[in-house]
């Protein structure tokens, strides 16, 4: 069992790696971004944003099935994180999964508070 200081250190490291991954993403260095997000998840495996960010980088690398899996993890951790739903729909569309990529289907899978009127 990790002590509180070690836990905080790992969470800070995860934040640092997310930011570093975001910088790589902005530069179009998708593989480097994926590597940073992956390392961040090794520090904080319950971080929905890291999963969703890695999914976006995977979409850029045309690794759509892996992106869907990361979005599923992100949604499982935080079912209100709308970006994960949008990224999952994008990946499904790229794989020509018409139903799952359809906006109407996506609206049905969103939590009630996030459904557009």
Which of the 8 DSSP states describes residue 112? G
Q: In the block, which residue shows the tokens 């359809």?
A: 102
Environment class of 93 (CB within 10 Å of its CB; exposed 0-12, middle 13-18, buried 19+) = middle
Cβ proximity of 87 and 59 under 8 Å: yes
Integer angstrom CA distances of residue 12 from 17, 47, 50, 109: 9, 12, 13, 32
Q: Which helix (H) or strand (E) holds 55?
A: helix 48-60
Q: Does residue 101 carry a pLDDT above 80?
A: no
Could you tell me the pTM of the whole model? 0.82
Instruction: Give the number of other CB atoms < 10 A from CB of residue 12.
Output: 12
- Per-residue pLDDT tens digits for 55-90: 999 999 999 999 999 999 999 999 999 999 999 999
pLDDT, mean over the chain: 88
């Amino acid at each position: 069992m990790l002590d509180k200081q070690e836990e905080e250190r790992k969470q800070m490291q995860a934040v640092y790696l997310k930011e570093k991954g975001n910088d790589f993403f902005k530069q179009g260095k998708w593989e480097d971004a994926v590597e940073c997000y992956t390392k961040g998840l090794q520090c904080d495996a319950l971080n929905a944003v890291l999963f969703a960010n890695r999914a976006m980088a995977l979409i850029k690398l045309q690794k759509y099935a892996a992106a869907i899996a990361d979005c599923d993890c992100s949604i499982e951790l935080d079912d209100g994180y709308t970006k994960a739903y949008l990224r999952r729909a994008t990946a499904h569309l790229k794989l020509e999964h018409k139903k799952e990529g359809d906006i109407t289907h996506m609206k049905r899978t969103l939590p009630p508070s996030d459904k557009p009127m």
